[in-house]
Structure 1
Amino acid sequence: MKLNLENLSKIKEKVDKKPCFDVEKLVDDSIKDPKWLAFGSGNIFRGYIARIGQDMINAGEFDRGISVVETFDEEIIEKIYKPHDNLALSVTLHKDGKFDTNLIANLVESLTLKDKDRIEEIFLNDNLQIASFTITEKGYNLYAPNGELMDVVKADLENNPEDAKHLMSILTNLLYKRFKKNAKELTLLSLDNCSKNGDKVKDSVMLIANKWNEDGKVSDEFITYLNEKVSYPWTMIDKITPRPAKEVQEYVEGLGFSEMDTVVTGKNTYIAPFVNSEEAEYLVMEDDFKNGRPDFSKVGVYLADRETVNKVETMKVTTCLNPLHTVLATYGCVLGYESISAEMKDEELVSLIKKIGYDEALPVVVNPGILDPKEFIDEVINVRFPNRFIPDTPQRIATDTSQKVAIRFGETIKSYVNEEGKDPKDLKYIPLALAGWLRYLLGVNDDGEKFELSSDPLMDELQKDLEGIKLGEFKETEGLDNLLRNERIFGLNLEEVGLADKVKEYFKELSEKPGSVRETLKKYL
C-alpha cells in the first residue's frame, strides 16, 4: 500500500492517529486562501510543526493546511513529498518500545524556490498570518567564515531585489511586494533550535532592507513597515527527530506500507516518507502575532512573553539538556559508543552528566515558571536519553561543538563569576567536560585508535592550537594556553576566571595513555 491520497481511506485504518477533516477540501481552501507558509521541509517540520498544525485543525482551532517550501535540498520535494502526495507518517518512539503512527495530511502543497510565482502569490495573500522557518541557524546567516558578507549576499545587495538569490534576500523582496500591495501585517516565525531565533530573521531582513533603502531601491516607509507591522517572535523548540531508523521502516512496512526506503540526497539529507521522533516535545512561542493566529495553546504549545521564552531557552541550552548532550557526545566518541542511549548504561558518564546538571548548573539557572528545571532534567536523564528507540549518535551531536561550548558551559561559568557567594574555581565537573572535549579533539579513542572527528567550522584552528599534543605525549603549549583564553569559544577567558589550570590538569590525565579516559572518569566520579 503506497502512501498517497488514492489510498487515504485504507491508510486511516492502519494508523493510530489520523486527520479528522476532509483532506481534499482542506487542500482546496488552503491553496485558494493560504494562511501559513513554511520555509524548510525537513524532519522536525514534518514530525512536529506540521503535526501541531494538524492537531489544531482536528481540534477545530484552525481551518487551513500549510504550504511548504524547501529552500536547500530540492530532492526532498522531488523524492519524498511529490511521490506521496505530500502525506507523511509521524512515528513516535516511546521508551517502552511502543510506536504510535500519525498520518500527517495538512501539507497542502510542496514547493521549491524555483516556484517563484506561486510563492509570491501565497505571500501576497491578505489572510496569510504566518511565514515560519525550520531552515537551521545557517539559513539566516549572511556572513562568510572570514566575517565578511557572503558573495551571494553582496550580489543581492548590489542587484535588483527581484534578482535575489539568498533566502533572506528573497524573503525581504517578498516582504517589499507585500508592503507595496497593501502593507498587510505578517508574522515571521522562526522555529529553529537557536537562541533568540526571531532576532536572527529580523537582523538579516533589516540589514538587506536598509542597504536597499540606502541605494534607493526600497522606500523609507518599507523600513517602517518592517519595524511596525511585521513581528519576529522568539521561540524555543525541543524535540529530537533523528535520521530515519531501519527499525521504524520495518515497523511501517509491517503495517502494510510500501516504498518506505530512506532517501539520501546529493546534499546528504537522510529523509523517508516517515519521520521517527521521541515522545517528549516542547514549543514555547512569544505571543506576538501581527495578523492573527490559531490558538496554539490548545495543542500543547506554550504562549508566553519574550522574557519567559528566553528563560526557557536558557534553561534548556545551559543546564537541562544541551550541555549534557555535548558531554555524552565528546566522551562517547572517545569511548567508542555509537548511540546516546547506550551511553546511559555507563555508570561514570551518567554520574558525570548528573554532577554537571544537578550539582553545578541547576543551582544557578533561572526558573522560567512555565517549566520546572528539575523536572525537565529528570525527564532528560531518566526518559529521553535512555530511549534506545531514538537512534541518535554521539558522532552527530559532536558536530560543530566549538559553536556550542560558550553557551552550553560558558554561561554557567559566568553565573559563578557574577553571583555573590559563587566561585568558578569551585567547579569540578564542567572543567572535566571541557577537558573531555579537548581530549576528543586529539582524534584518538581510549584504546589508542584513531577515529573520524565530526565536522566543525573551527577544526583547523583547533587542531593548530593543540599541535604537539598527542596521546601519551601531553605538553603545555602556547597554543593550548591561547585556546583556553579564547573568549569566542568558551564565552570567557578560562585563565582569568581561574579554570585554565584545572582544565589542563584534567586534559593531561585524560591523555596520559590508552585507557586513561576511563581511569580518569573513575577517579573523579
Structure 2
Amino acid sequence: MEHNIKLNQKSLGEISKIISCPTYDRSQLKTGIVHIGIGGFHRAHEALYTDQLLHDSSVTDWGICGVALLDFDTKIYNTLKEQDGLYTLMVKELDGTLTKRVIGSIVECLYAPENPLKVIEKMASSEVKIISLTITEGGYNYDEATGTFNFKNPLIQHDLENPHEPKTIFGYLTQALKLRKVRGLKGCTIQSCDNIQGNGHFAKKMLLSYVQVAEPELITWIDANVSFPNAMVDRITPSTSPLDIEILKETSGIDDAWPVVCEPFKQWVIEDDFIAGRPAWETVGVQFVEDVVPYEKMKLSLLNAGHSVLGILGALYGYSTIDEAASNGDISSFLRIYMGNEVTPTLGDLEGVNLKNYKFSLIQRFGNTYIKDQIDRICSQSSAKIPIFILPTIYTQLVNKGSIDHAAFIIAAFAIYSVGVNEFGTQLIIKDAMETVLNEKAIASRKNPEAFLEIESIFGKLKNDKMFVDAYTNAYQNIVHNGIEKSVKDINSNVLNEI
C-alpha cells in the first residue's frame, strides 16, 4: 500500500475500516491489572482475552498497565508508549491466512528502571486487583541444587540493600504489598502466567522466601490478603520478525512497530482463587477449575518439553526454525516416541483430556510452516527450562524403572549443543544466563561426558544415578562418533512403540 497509517489512538478510526479494532472507550478504563513482562506472549494471551472481554461487555475495571521490568525492555516500552499501548495481533492460521486485530486492553505502560517508585505505587493502587507475571522460568530465582531461593544473586542483594530502588520482581512486589498493608488497603491476587508446574504455589514460595529476609513482619499479612492461583497457559508465540512488520504494512497499510504473531490455538486454565475479584474471563474461553495441576503437568512435559526437544535436536541438524525440525521424519518420530513411551506413563489419569488427540495436535502445531518459530528463541535459557520441562519425567521414570533412553539422549544432545557449534561447523546462538558454565562443562565433556552433569544448579544429584548416567553416556558417545542424524535414526529403530 502506498500510504501507511501509524498505529495509535488517533488513527484507530481510520484503521477500524481495515481490520478489527477496539470498540470500547479506552479512556474510560480503570487499571485493574498490572502485568509484569509485556512481551509477545502476554500480548497474544492475557491481553487478548481481556480485550475480548472489554469488547463483549460493559465492564471498565480491567484495563491493563504493562510494566517493562528490565533494562533491555526499553524498546518494547517506547514502542507501546508511542502507540498508546495499541498493537496488532496477527494469527497465522494453518492454511497460511492471517487473522488481524488491534488489541486495546493495555491502557498504561511503565518502564521500571526509569521510575521504580511509580511502579511500586501503581502496584499498590486500590484500583489494582491483580498483578500478573510473565517473567520466564529463570525469573523466579530458584536454585535447582539447593531447592531454595537464590540469595547469592547480585540483583537480589541489591534489592535487599536498596528496597526503594528494586531491580527484581521480588523487590517490587514486597514494597508494593508493604504499602498496601501500611495504607490499610485490601490485598490482591498475584497471577503467574509462566511455564512452571504449580506456578502460583511456586511464586508464593519464592516471594515469601525473599520477604522473610527483606520484610519479615509482612509474612502474616501476605498469607491473609494475597492469593496465588495456579494456572496453565498455552499459545505458541514466536518472536516478531522484520518481515512480519512489512507483511502487515503491505496487506493492511498499518505501520505497527511491534505487532505480535501467534498460532491459532490458545488455552488458559486457572484455579478460581482471586482474593480481590477478577474479570469474567470464563465468558471469553478461559477455563476455571479447582485443580490445574493435571493440565499443567501435561502441557509442560509434552508441549514445552517437545519444544525443547525440537529446538536442541533441530539446532544440531542445522535447522533454524521449529517447523523445519518438526517436518523431519526422524526428529518427529523421536518426539512421538519420547512423548508416548517416556512422558505418558508419568502423567497418570487426566480426567476430561483426550491425551492421544492432544499429542497429535502438538505435532500439527509444531509443524505450522507459517509460524517460523526461531530455534534460538526456543533454546534460549534452556538451563532454566530443562529442570522444569524434562527432568521431572526422568525422575519419575527412574523411580518406576521405566524407559529414559530418549530423555537421556536429549540431555546428551544439550551437552553437545552447549559447545556452541554443531557438527557441520555452524555457530549456534546460545542465549542463556548460564552460558559460560554450560560452555565450560560442555567442552570438558569431550574428555569425560559426565562433566556436564556436574552442573548441580541444573541437574541436581542426577549424576549419582547409574541408570541415567549409563543411558546419557551411551547417547553422548553415539552422537559424537556417529553424528546426530544417524544417532537419532538408531535410537528410534530400537523402539517399537510410537504413540
| Short-chain TM bin | 0.7 to 0.9
Equivalence for 1:316: 299
Distance 2:198 2:233 in 1: 11
Give the CA deviation at 1:462. 4.0
Query: Over residues 154-178 of structure 1, what are the superposed CA-to-partner deviations in whole Å (9 max), with x where a residue is unaligned?
Result: 343345x445454422221111111
* Cα contact 2:37–2:134 (8 A) shared by 1: yes
What SS is found at the alignment partner of 1:404? helix
* Cα contact 2:420–2:427 (8 A) shared by 1: yes
Equivalence for 1:211: 213
- Give the stretch that moved more between structures: 293-302 or 393-402: 393-402
Distance 1:126 1:152 in 2: 28
What SS is found at the alignment partner of 2:197? coil
Equivalence for 1:106: 105
* Cα contact 2:232–2:292 (8 A) shared by 1: yes
* Cα contact 2:198–2:230 (8 A) shared by 1: yes
Residue pairs, 1:295-310, within 5 angstroms: 295-305=280-290, 308-310=291-293
* Cα contact 2:116–2:164 (8 A) shared by 1: no
Q: Which amino acid aligns with 1:441?
A: S
Equivalence for 1:10: 14
Give the CA deviation at 1:493. 2.8
Equivalence for 1:517: 484
Equivalence for 1:409: 390
Q: Which amino acid aligns with 2:18?
A: K
Equivalence for 1:366: 348
Equivalence for 2:415: 438
TM-score, normalising length from structure 1? 0.83
Give the CA deviation at 1:39. 2.1
Give the CA deviation at 1:11. 1.0
What SS is found at the alignment partner of 2:200? helix
The counterpart of 2:307, out of the listed 320, 325, 333, is: 325
Equivalence for 2:130: 130
Distance 1:292 1:468 in 2: 53
Query: Over residues 401-429 of structure 1, what are the superposed CA-to-partner deviations in whole Å (9 max), with x where a residue is unaligned?
Result: 2333333332223222334xxx23x4432
Give the CA deviation at 1:100. 0.5
Query: Over residues 451-476 of structure 1, what are the superposed CA-to-partner deviations in whole Å (9 max), with x where a residue is unaligned?
Result: 23513344444444444665xxxx5x
Give the CA deviation at 1:517. 2.0
What SS is found at the alignment partner of 1:14? coil
Corresponding position: 1:22 with 2:25: yes
Pair 115,492 (structure 1): closer, same or farther in 2 beyond 3 Å:
closer
Alignment coverage as a number of residue pairs: 482
Residue pairs, 1:491-502, within 5 angstroms: 493=462, 496-502=465-471
What SS is found at the alignment partner of 1:6? coil
Pair 78,464 (structure 1): closer, same or farther in 2 beyond 3 Å:
closer
Residue pairs, 1:229-308, within 5 angstroms: 229-261=225-257, 272=258, 274-305=259-290, 308=291
The counterpart of 1:357, out of the listed 329, 333, 339, is: 339
Distance 2:95 2:152 in 1: 49
What SS is found at the alignment partner of 2:373? coil
* Cα contact 1:285–1:303 (8 A) shared by 2: yes
Give the CA deviation at 1:226. 0.7
Distance 1:104 1:433 in 2: 39
Query: Over residues 291-331 of structure 1, what are the superposed CA-to-partner deviations in whole Å (9 max), with x where a residue is unaligned?
Result: 111222111112123xx32222211222x212222221122
What SS is found at the alignment partner of 1:507? helix
Q: Which amino acid aligns with 2:467?
A: G
Equivalence for 1:456: 432
Query: Over residues 193-215 of structure 1, what are the superposed CA-to-partner deviations in whole Å (9 max), with x where a residue is unaligned?
Result: 2333324433344344333445x
Equivalence for 1:429: 406
RMSD across aligned positions (CA): 2.9
The counterpart of 2:174, out of the listed 163, 172, 175, is: 172
What SS is found at the alignment partner of 2:45? helix
* Cα contact 1:77–1:112 (8 A) shared by 2: no
Equivalence for 2:80: 81
Q: Which amino acid aligns with 1:403?
A: A
Corresponding position: 1:387 with 2:358: no
Pair 177,499 (structure 1): closer, same or farther in 2 beyond 3 Å:
closer
Query: Over residues 34-60 of structure 1, what are the superposed CA-to-partner deviations in whole Å (9 max), with x where a residue is unaligned?
Result: 322222221112222111111111221
What SS is found at the alignment partner of 1:185? coil
The counterpart of 1:345, out of the listed 324, 327, 343, is: 327
Q: Which has the larger radius of gyration?
A: 1
Distance 2:181 2:234 in 1: 33
Q: Which amino acid aligns with 1:512?
A: H
What SS is found at the alignment partner of 1:321? helix
Equivalence for 1:396: 377
* Cα contact 2:236–2:263 (8 A) shared by 1: yes
TM-score, normalising length from structure 2? 0.87
Pair 122,405 (structure 1): closer, same or farther in 2 beyond 3 Å:
closer
Q: Which structure would you say has the larger RCO, counting Cα contacts within 8 Å and 6 or more residues apart?
A: 2
Give the CA deviation at 1:258. 4.5
* Cα contact 2:68–2:77 (8 A) shared by 1: no
Distance 1:322 1:286 in 2: 21
What SS is found at the alignment partner of 1:512? helix
Pair 230,359 (structure 1): closer, same or farther in 2 beyond 3 Å:
same
Equivalence for 2:497: none
* Cα contact 1:282–1:301 (8 A) shared by 2: yes
What SS is found at the alignment partner of 2:16? helix
Pair 298,428 (structure 1): closer, same or farther in 2 beyond 3 Å:
same
Q: Please list every run of 5 or more consecutive structure 1 residues that lacks an aligned counterpart in the other structure.
A: 215-219, 262-271
Give the CA deviation at 1:225. 1.6
* Cα contact 2:144–2:460 (8 A) shared by 1: no
* Cα contact 1:245–1:391 (8 A) shared by 2: no
